[in-house]
């Protein structure tokens, strides 16, 4: 239990129907009794019971708001501590006034993520579950929400504990041999231990293989629209967004800066980036914009190369295709409503590994098929196997990679007949890496870094 009582506004900034102030710590009940006046006289303060009343300033006796209050006795609360929630009307002025009175009465302002950090320190959540709280808040797609809920339920935690138990069992066999010596202990069953650690290695590899898919559903993907001037990039951007977001003119070089907007494609958040037209130019500002297009394309998950189907390939078209080889490409031919000069056969000769798609950004023809293409490209590149356990966080991935390397080294030591001290050391380090996911072997600095990314009030 933490010594200090903390308080914060737990709902987003701005006006709303309801605003919640959360208080956690040993003085939560005392603060409730000091500030809250039930409407029905002396109603006993019962845990987990919502009560209607008023918040009254102890000093001025002024009524600050008509509220609903609920007191939750430890350990049956989010943080595992005595907790008070005051449900006020959602005006910023009201919330700040009530919070000010709570702080005057004995609480201190909470730091970012401190409520969830206390839940972790009080064993209400392990570290991966605590991180899942923020994943849940930041989820951008149904699949991302599904992954966050899975982590909050403890699916990743349970699998990690299972892996640790398997390693501990292997370690026990190895250390028994060390403790009793070769003469007194039973001989190590090398084949059995090798098989057991092989199972652990394969399980970790299977979980790691889900990271790419998990990352795109958590963070979304970027799709850069690139092409020569007047090929229809801005028109395509407006069509994808379903609104006129970008200025469209026949004047080359209209788009100088990047315009980014996110849309959902089959539940996957895709950020489309409209870029400057690529051409030879002596204008300094436009040249700088074109140089940045190449940088954006290098970092993108998908590069949409837009061509004008009513014209033959130009030098700029060929340069754009050649410089994006090896990346995930959607080759899109615009202006299908006009007589066509480009053909599928001619484009396959230029870039045989990519199947072109015809659209009309002006009339919306082929746009649904283009969205489907982008979705399939991303999902194909990043798995899409619907695994039971999925990794979405780089910290978890790094920990699993560390554990995997140590398990492989331990397996090689066991099968190679090395002294058991050596694979034992590798397995202990693998256990430490897996413990980082759960928060068992995590430093205070890492904890501070994780929880500092949370919002105040969560």
> Residue 358 forms beta bridges with which residues?
333
Indicate if the alpha-carbon torsion angle 390, 395, 398, 404 is positive or negative: negative
Q: Could you give the CA distance from residue 272 to residue 264 in angstroms, rounded to a whole number?
A: 10
Torsion of CA 25, 30, 34, 36, to 10 degrees: 70
Q: Could you give the CA distance from residue 254 to residue 232 in angstroms, rounded to a whole number?
A: 12
pLDDT at 138: 85
Task: Name which of 33, 24, 29, 31 is nearest 5 in CA terms.
Answer: 24
Strands of 63-72's sheet in order across: 36-38, 51-56, 63-72, 83-90, 16-24, 6-9, 108-109
Q: Could you give the CA distance from residue 120 to residue 114 in angstroms, rounded to a whole number?
A: 10
Torsion of CA 372, 376, 382, 387, to 10 degrees: 90
Q: SS3 for 48? A: coil
Q: Chain-centre distance of CA 66, in angstroms? A: 38
Q: Which two tokens stand for residue 16?
A: 């709303």
User: How many Å from the N-terminal Cα to the C-terminal Cα in the chain?
Assistant: 17
CA distances from 444 to 1, 85, 115, 440, 452 (A): 17, 28, 16, 11, 12
Q: Which two tokens stand for residue 114?
A: 């401190």
CATH architecture of the domain with residue range 6-123: 2-Layer Sandwich (3.30)
Domain 132-210+389-438 fold: 1.20.120
The pTM score is 0.77
Residue-range domain boundaries for the chain: 6-123, 132-210+389-438, 223-369
Domain 223-369 in CATH 3.40.50.300? The answer is: yes
Peptide bond into 75 cis (omega under 30): yes
pLDDT at 40: 82
Residue ranges, the chain, pLDDT below 70: 1-2, 43, 179-188, 243-257, 279-289, 380-386
Q: Could you give the CA distance from residue 224 to residue 311 in angstroms, rounded to a whole number?
A: 22
pLDDT at 448: 85
Q: Could you give the CA distance from residue 205 to residue 222 in angstroms, rounded to a whole number?
A: 27
pLDDT at 1: 45
Q: Could you give the CA distance from residue 270 to residue 372 in angstroms, rounded to a whole number?
A: 12
């Amino acid at each position: 239990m933490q010594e200090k009582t903390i308080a914060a506004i737990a709902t987003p900034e701005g006006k709303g129907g309801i605003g919640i102030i959360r208080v956690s710590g040993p003085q939560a009940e005392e603060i409730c009794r000091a500030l809250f006046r039930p409407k029905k006289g002396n109603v006993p303060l019962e845990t987990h019971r919502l009560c209607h009343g008023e918040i009254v300033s102890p000093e001025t006796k002024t009524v600050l708001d008509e509220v609903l209050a609920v007191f939750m006795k430890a350990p049956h609360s989010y943080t595992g501590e005595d907790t008070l929630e005051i449900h006020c009307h959602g005006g910023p002025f009201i919330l700040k006034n009530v919070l000010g009175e709570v702080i005057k009465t004995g609480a201190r302002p909470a730091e970012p993520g401190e409520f969830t950090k206390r839940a972790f320190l009080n064993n209400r959540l392990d570290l991966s579950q605590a991180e899942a709280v923020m994943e849940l808040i930041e989820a951008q797609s149904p699949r991302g929400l599904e992954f966050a809920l899975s982590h909050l339920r403890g699916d990743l935690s349970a699998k990690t504990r299972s892996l640790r138990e398997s390693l501990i069992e292997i370690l026990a066999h190895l250390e028994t041999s060390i403790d009793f010596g070769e003469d007194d202990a039973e001989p190590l069953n090398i084949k059995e231990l090798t098989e057991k650690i092989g199972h652990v290695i394969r399980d970790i590899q299977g979980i790691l293989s889900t990271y790419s898919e998990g990352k795109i559903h958590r963070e979304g993907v970027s799709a850069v629209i690139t092409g020569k001037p007047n090929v229809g990039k801005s028109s395509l951007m407006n069509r994808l967004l379903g609104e006129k977001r970008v200025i469209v003119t026949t004047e080359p070089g209209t788009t100088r800066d990047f315009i980014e907007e996110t849309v959902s494609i089959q539940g996957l958040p895709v950020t489309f980036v409209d870029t400057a037209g690529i051409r030879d130019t002596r204008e300094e500002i436009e040249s700088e914009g074109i140089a940045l297009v190449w940088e954006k394309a290098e970092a993108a998950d998908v590069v949409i190369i837009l061509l004008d189907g009513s014209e033959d390939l130009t030098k700029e078209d060929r340069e754009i295709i050649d410089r994006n080889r090896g990346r995930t490409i959607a080759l899109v031919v615009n202006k299908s409503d006009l007589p066509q000069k480009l053909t599928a056969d001619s484009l396959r000769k230029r870039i045989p590994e990519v199947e072109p798609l015809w659209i009309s950004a002006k009339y919306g023809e082929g746009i649904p098929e283009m969205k489907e293409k982008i979705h399939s490209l991303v999902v194909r590149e990043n798995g899409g196997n619907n695994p039971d356990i999925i990794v979405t966080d780089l910290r978890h991935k790094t920990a699993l990679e560390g554990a995997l390397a140590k398990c492989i080294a331990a397996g090689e030591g066991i099968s190679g007949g090395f002294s058991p001290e050596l694979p034992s050391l590798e397995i202990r380090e693998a256990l430490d890496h897996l413990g980082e996911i759960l928060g068992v072997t995590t430093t205070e600095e890492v904890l501070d870094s994780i929880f500092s990314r949370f919002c105040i009030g969560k």
